[in-house]
């Protein structure tokens, strides 16, 4: 970082000049971002971070924009979400996430104290996930031209040689394992927005899945076909994507899918299906049948997979449908979100 | 990409459902982004792109958010700008840019035809720069919560072993070379906004500097100390950053700095200093004195450096000032942008 004396971010607000590329921007970066994210790569102070070439089989690269509203919610904030969103998309390939970039788009008038809190949350989430935020960008747009703050992160990870996880690898007979309860993130955000006081204990599940993934890869080896995090569109969208990509169908057991009582209650009240609600700290794995119990045991032994369950089976189906035996013994097709909209929960 | 039948983007507008993670989003990606960006990595259709590990000395990683207004301007658009911004930050390390990510934040109601045009502009700019857009993200925010469209890109490049360019390497006696005229980008945008009809011939200089950089590295070898693109804050901010980072001063010759007549005219009218205006296709290089003429000749032989000029010298200065001998023979200190603000030109 190239900036002069840092000034503490008390009381002030972000102004247009903070995005103009001059002294005020350098001071903002030096006083808020640099200390929160501190690492030797960011400290190089050039237009790009120079990094050692990682040893392994492949690089992986991913990006996610975070536009959640409100910016602070039970269990997290936009900064934590922006880190874990990209970290998890890397981890789903079995990768070790290494480096992140952050692009801030800030509305004029945004409180510096909130920016500081969010920057520190990014730093903490990055440390927890074992990644370094090595480069960034800061833009400011006029009042009314954004909704407080948007953050786009991108990330680089490395996959060990020989590990091949991809959405096209599900085969009939494989088991579908879910790492825990669905709907927590989306419902936690919605409850805040709708002021549903009875759901105040509910927290977003926002978390980095890196250590759970490491345990899973170690336990299942090549029997692990693929992993995916059911974020926007929820479990329903993710399973439909995977069915299409692998050219298979899925047969689910509703009774096996963990849903917290508060999530069920809010969904009933608002007329939502928990299977279409976003999660930010869950994953779906598809595994060869002979390794399913071993994998499940390894997942349950980890805090991030304590409530893991086998929720279904991959089946042959030229129509690539996701079907579910309901708790009442009937059957329904689990389609991906069509009419419904749950904007701005991630 | 996992989406069903692409639908052509005629007439319609982006709706909230296009960001909800379901079928509508998959169709938007399949009909607009996938064809515009087509490459085998993006086509993997997973949550991350898997890439071969590049051979070389170091990885470089950078990000830039594009928030320019208007979205289309003489010489480019937000898509071209978003690609070249990140590509150039990689190139300034002497890197070959390889892969880009794109994160779209779209305002509800945005015309699909404009989105399509911008996606195709991104594809064209990426091909021109020799990079592949391998992964992306698409979010939609409610009407009034963004200004049409914001795009954040991140990029990965590779630097050959042995090539060390960094902002802290300028030494007293080194020459400062500028690749061409300053102020074109910012003034082109401002002229649009202020409706300055006499400046309608002026175009943004938005371009990928990759081939110019390759010619420069080949010509100057280890005598090349550093490169930087004078974007926000203009030449003034970049030289002050470099002076601070290297612990030196700079002595400039105003008469040597190329400024187009239309740029001078607009700056005079609006009371702006061309040295503080953003450029999007220019670079500053610092080079050991014995290689300066060789490097200059190599730059001038390339279309992107046809108007290159030696504009100053690195000097000892404990105060790290950038001083300029003016065209009238006086001297002034070139400070970086303080009070001025030119919002949303990049
Ligand atoms: N939000 C942020 N968090 C961490 N580092 C940041 C952030 N914003 C900028 N930086 C760092 O500050 C330095 C200057 O960034 P800046 O965006 O000015 O560079 P640039 O991309 O070359 O310029 P421009 O964005 O005008 O093209 C870089 O090292 C960058 O990584
Ligand atoms: N604007 C875009 N341009 C190119 N590809 C895109 C774009 N948006 C999304 N994609 C691609 O579409 C696929 C699905 O993206 P999506 O964002 O839904 O995945 P995700 O990050 O796992 O989900 P979420 O964003 O809800 O966490 C990915 O392969 C992604 O690279
Ligand atoms: Mg994601
Ligand atoms: Mg994902
Ligand atoms: Mg930048
Ligand atoms: Mg830049
Ligand atoms: Mg730059
Ligand atoms: Mg995404």
Q: What is the DSSP string of A51-94?
A: EPPPPSSEEEEEEEEE--SSSEETTEEHHHHHHHHHHHHHHTTT
Average pLDDT per consecutive 10 residues, chain A (346 residues; last block may be shorter) = 50 92 94 98 98 97 98 97 98 98 98 98 98 98 97 98 97 99 96 80 96 98 98 96 98 98 93 95 98 98 98 98 95 83 79
Contacts of B314 (CB under 8 A, 6+ apart): B170, B171, B172, B173, B174, B175, B176, B246, B248, B249, B250, B251, B286
pLDDT over threshold 80, residue B247? yes
Domain with CATH 3.30.1330.10 in chain A: 16-159
Integer Cα distance of B73 and B199 in angstroms: 13
Express each pLDDT in B118-164 by its tens digit. Answer: 999 999 999 999 999 999 999 999 999 999 999 999 999 999 999 99
Considering the segment(s) B16-159 as one domain, its CATH architecture is: 2-Layer Sandwich (3.30)
Q: Is A84 in the pocket of ligand 2 (CB under 6 A)?
A: no
Q: What is the DSSP track for B12-54?
A: -B--GGGGSSSHHHHHHIIIIIHHHH--TTGGG-SSSEEEPPP
* Predicted pLDDT of residue B267: 93
Under 8 Å between Cβ of A151 and A78: yes
Cβ-defined contact of B237 to A22 (cutoff 8 Å):
yes
Share of chain B above pLDDT 90, in %: 89
ipTM of the prediction: 0.97
The predicted model gives B228-255 an average pLDDT of 97
Share of chain B above pLDDT 70, in %: 96
Per residue in B185-229, pLDDT (tens digit) is: 999 999 888 888 777 789 999 999 999 999 999 999 999 999 999
Q: Is the pLDDT of residue B53 over 70?
A: yes
Instruction: Please tell me the distance in Å from A59's CA to the nearest CA on chain B.
Output: 5
Mutation to test the B interface, candidates A19, A22, A86, most B Cβ within 10 Å: A22
Determine the CATH number of domain B175-333: 3.90.650.10
β-bridge pairing A249-253 and A309-315: antiparallel
Q: Do B233 and A139 touch (CB under 8 A)?
A: no
Amino acid B8: pLDDT = 53
B89 and A48 within 8 Å at the Cβ level: the answer is: yes
User: CATH 3.90.650.10 occupies which residues in chain A?
Assistant: 175-333
Q: Residue A11's pLDDT is what? A: 73
Question: What per-residue string of b and e applies to A102-131 under the rule 16 or more CB within 10 Å gives b?
Answer: bbbbbbbebebebbbbbbbbbbebbebbeb
More confident site: B4 or A13: A13
User: Which of B16, B46, B235 is the mutation pick for testing A, counting most A CBs within 10 A?
Assistant: B46
Q: What is the mean pLDDT of chain B?
A: 94
pLDDT given for residue A119 in this prediction: 98
The answer to whether the beta carbons of residues A323 and A331 sit under 8 Å apart is yes
């Amino acid at each position: 970082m190239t900036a002069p004396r840092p000034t503490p971010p008390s009381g002030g607000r972000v102004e247009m000049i903070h995005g103009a590329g001059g002294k005020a921007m350098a001071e903002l970066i030096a006083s808020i971002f640099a200390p929160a994210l501190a690492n030797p790569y960011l400290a190089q102070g050039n237009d790009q971070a120079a990094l050692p070439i990682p040893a392994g089989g492949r690089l992986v690269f991913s990006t996610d924009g975070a536009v959640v509203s409100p910016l602070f919610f039970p269990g997290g904030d936009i900064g934590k979400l922006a880190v874990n969103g990209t970290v998890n998309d890397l981890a789903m390939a079995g990768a070790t996430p290494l480096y992140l970039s952050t692009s801030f788009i800030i509305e004029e008038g945004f409180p510096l104290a909130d920016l500081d809190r969010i920057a520190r949350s990014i730093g903490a989430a990055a440390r927890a996930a074992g990644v370094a935020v090595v480069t960034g960008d800061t833009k400011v747009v006029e009042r009314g031209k954004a909704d407080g703050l948007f953050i786009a992160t991108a990330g680089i990870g490395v996959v060990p040689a020989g590990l091949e996880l991809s959405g096209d690898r599900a085969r009939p007979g494989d088991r579908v394992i879910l790492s825990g309860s669905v709907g927590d993130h989306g419902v936690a955000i919605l409850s805040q927005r709708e002021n549903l006081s009875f759901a105040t204990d509910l927290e977003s599940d926002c978390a980095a899945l890196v250590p759970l993934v490491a345990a899973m890869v170690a336990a299942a080896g090549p029997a692990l076909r693929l992993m995916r995090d059911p974020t926007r569109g929820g479990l329903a969208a993710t399973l439909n994507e995977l069915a299409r990509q692998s050219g298979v169908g899925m047969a689910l057991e509703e009774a096996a899918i963990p849903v917290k009582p508060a999530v069920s209650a809010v969904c009933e009240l608002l007329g939502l299906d928990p299977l279409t609600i976003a999660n930010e700290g869950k994953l779906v794995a598809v595994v060869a049948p002979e390794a399913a119990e071993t994998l499940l045991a390894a997942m349950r032994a980890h805090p991030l997979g304590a409530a893991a369950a086998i929720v279904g089976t991959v089946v042959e189906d030229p129509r690539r449908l996701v079907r579910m035996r309901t708790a009442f013994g009937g059957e329904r097709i689990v389609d991906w979100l069509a009419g419904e909209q749950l904007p701005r929960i991630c």
